[in-house]
Amino acid sequence: MTDALPLSDFDFPEELVASVPAEPRDSARLMVLGRTDGKVDHKLFRDLPSLLRDGDCLVLNETKVIPCRLLGRKATGGKVELLLVRELEKGLWSGLATGLKAGMRLSFPGGLDAVVEGRNDDGEYLIRFDRAELPAYLAEHGHAPLPPYILKRKRTPDQSDRDRYQTVYALTSGSIAAPTAGLHFTPRLLDELRAMGVRLAKVTLHVGRGTFRPVTVEDARQHPMLPEHYRMGPEAAELVSRTLREGGRVMAVGTTSTRALESLALQAGGFGPGEGWTSLYICPGHEFRAAGGLITNFHLPRSTPLLLAAAFAGRERLLAAYREACRERYRLYSYGDAMLVL
């Protein structure tokens, strides 16, 4: 169909997938894409101050990634790799793994034991651990939940990933993946933006399976979005509201910030502070009510972040920009380069 959503339209060169981040953070490349005319310009992320102006508002997702990847053993001796998804109650978590069965016993470094209780309706395993306060254990023994396309390249995550797969402004623990557009900011760059009059508003959306679960249905518009928790307080909401009133640009840093902003804008009474669970699925055809600019990375095919970016930039403009990014050898995905859509 002519208005088909961008799913398998584009195959990315495998060699462009970034397995390590740019150092320093703001040395990543930045493609600037015109939202109306499709014009493309090439910058570095540290050039962002020259592209923003006094009165703009950056909306940053301050969620903090949990080191929720666990490496252990089955009672039979086989290896198990477990990605924890969500704490359901003290000691009981849902998680993703392969080859597990109900009743199977698991053990992990540091004396942690668990039993598989079954699966939920979303296909996640239900894992009962022998201790209730798992966050303290994860802080010591957990690994950064790097995406599978990095892990399959035989790169072993190390301590640097615990720091680097985290924004410099991360505050509230709860995510099982990083809001990757924010990985490019440094404290110095944020200070420079503040000094020139750019407002910084914080929102929290804990990244869960809803963000990274691939779109598998033939008609992408029918994809069911899993809920993720979000919150924006009164002070941050007032910064955004003032920017909208004064004609400034509200710049969403990442697709998660965008979904939180748009969820808040859909509240009864319009945009304002709020908290809850959102299953908002943004794909081409969405009418944006709050976000006026988008900072994002280059996303996987058949992913909800790609569909959101296509909704914001326009499908054909985005795909043309992705083709140019490949010609210009941009680095792709979570640890890759960035795009600014204005």
**Pair (219, 323) in one structural domain:** yes
The reply to whether 4 falls in a domain is no
Closest CA to 297 of 325, 264, 316, 324: 325
**Pair (168, 25) in one structural domain:** yes
Tokens matching residue 277 = 């669970």
What contacts 284, CB < 8 A, 6 or more positions away?
3, 5, 307, 310, 311, 314, 315
The reply to whether 153 falls in a domain is no
Position 154 scores a pLDDT of 58
Position 281 scores a pLDDT of 96
**Pair (297, 336) in one structural domain:** yes
**Pair (45, 93) in one structural domain:** no
The reply to whether 2 falls in a domain is no
Q: What is the CATH number of the domain that holds 208?
A: 3.40.1780.10
d(CA 331, CA 268): 41
Q: Report mean pLDDT in 10-residue bins for the chain, 342 residues.
A: 47 86 97 96 98 97 96 94 93 94 95 95 93 88 90 74 95 96 98 98 96 87 93 98 96 98 95 96 94 96 92 93 95 96 96
Closest CA to 138 of 106, 104, 168, 112: 112
Position 152 scores a pLDDT of 72
Position 217 scores a pLDDT of 85
The reply to whether 169 falls in a domain is yes
**Pair (124, 169) in one structural domain:** no
The reply to whether 214 falls in a domain is yes
The reply to whether 3 falls in a domain is no
Domain count, the chain: 2
**Pair (136, 206) in one structural domain:** no
d(CA 72, CA 92): 17
**Pair (323, 178) in one structural domain:** yes
The reply to whether 6 falls in a domain is no
How long is the chain? 342
**Pair (120, 237) in one structural domain:** no
**Pair (247, 124) in one structural domain:** no
Query: What residues does 16 pair with on adjacent strands?
Result: none
**Pair (195, 324) in one structural domain:** yes
Position 88 scores a pLDDT of 92
**Pair (249, 312) in one structural domain:** yes
The reply to whether 298 falls in a domain is yes
Residue 90's domain spans which residues? 69-142
Q: What is the CATH number of the domain that holds 129?
A: 2.40.10.240
**Pair (126, 249) in one structural domain:** no
